[in-house]
Amino acid sequence: MKIDRPISIALILFITLILIIFFVLPKYRDFRSSQADLGKIEAEFNGKYAYYSGISKAFRDLQEHQESVDKIDSALPKNPPIADIVYFFQEKSREKGLIIKSLFLAKFSALDSENGVREIAFSLNLAGTYSSLKSFLYSIEDSARLFEVSSISFSSSILQESSESQAVPGPPVNKIKKQPQFQAEQIYSFQLEIKTHSY
């Protein structure tokens, strides 16, 4: 039996079309879907790779500048060492010639939810000279910890420091004249409020 050529061509085309629809087309769709998924995974991997390489670069930079990082940590510590701050005030005031009459913790706020920073305020009552206070304020400004002097008030007291009378050489006569000389420096009472922060 002889099959007509156009019928055989049509039959082959029909079988090929069925094979394409039922076998090749689903595999092609799976391939395209896998290719799209692979593209997403690759993009996610590249993003994570860039993120982690940025973190490792930042870590290396921090390691190179460890001294500066330590200064920042001491300027704004995580757990506020209240005793260390009080000791710092005592030492600096003693070095600069001031007397601490009273020192107390004026404010210890809760952790702020917006910026994660806690405010701590100290109230200091000091006695000394104006130049001593100036030196004390400069030492606070130069310290590694961040301090903010929010208020200063002062009142004068009548205490004066006097030196003993000193002999002043006079003309070459029988007696040496003695003249008292007073070196007086006014002593003030200072009230300071100093703020600092921790996180």
SS3 annotation, 71-109: HHHHHCCCCCCHHHHHHHHHHHHHHCCCEEEEEEEEEEC
- Higher model confidence: residue 77 or residue 134? 134
With 60 as the cut, is the pLDDT of residue 174 above it? no
179: confidence class by pLDDT, cuts 50, 70, 90: very low
| Bridge-based pairing state of the strands 178-179 and 118-128 | unpaired
- Higher model confidence: residue 67 or residue 162? 67
Q: Is the pTM of this model over 0.85?
A: no
Model confidence pLDDT, tens digit, residues 77-111: 566 678 888 888 899 999 998 988 988 888 877 76
With 60 as the cut, is the pLDDT of residue 175 above it? no
Report which DSSP code applies to 175: S
What does the buried/exposed string (b/e) look like for 156-172 if buried means 16 or more CB atoms within 10 Å of the residue's CB? eeeeeeeeeeeeeeeee
CATH topology of domain 76-198: Alpha-Beta Plaits (3.30.70)
Report which DSSP code applies to 22: I
